[in-house]
Amino acid sequence: MNYKKTILAIVTALSATICLTGCFTIDTADVHTTGEEHVCVGNRGWYLFHFIPLACGNASEDPLMPWVFFRNDVTMDKIQHRFMSYANFYGKKTRDMSYYTQESVLFEIPGTDFPIPIPYILTYREVQLSGVLK
């Protein structure tokens, strides 16, 4: 019976890790009338005391895992590098670039709007860069 509890604990820990880690995304949409492509590159992650990275999306060119631990990949430099790499790979020029950043210092229970008042212990950070390729 003890092995069932161990397996359940491992599955729960892995599920929580996957749900609470960050995410790196490249979203694209074609505009068929103009031949342009809208690209949005984003990354998000969790930090301890607002400065120590815990987990975030892996912004590497060839990631082995979709997330990384204890490495800060939620920066505008890394997002812009991936955006420009995408544009260069397809041989397109960029224009109309804009960015979005968000930092949240209150932890919210997923699925609710109820914040837990533990400011600056756990911080959520998100960076997005979008632009048009032609």
Tens digits of per-residue pLDDT, 33-50? 988 999 999 999 988 888
pTM: 0.75
Buried-exposed string 5-15: b where 16+ CB fall within 10 A, e elsewhere: eeeeeeeeeee
Give residue limits of the domains in the chain: 22-133
Residues 6+ apart with CB under 8 A from 88: none
User: For 45-76, how does the pLDDT look when each residue is reduced to its tens digit (9 = 90+)?
Assistant: 988 888 899 889 888 887 777 888 899 999 99
C-alpha Rg value of the chain to the nearest Å: 18
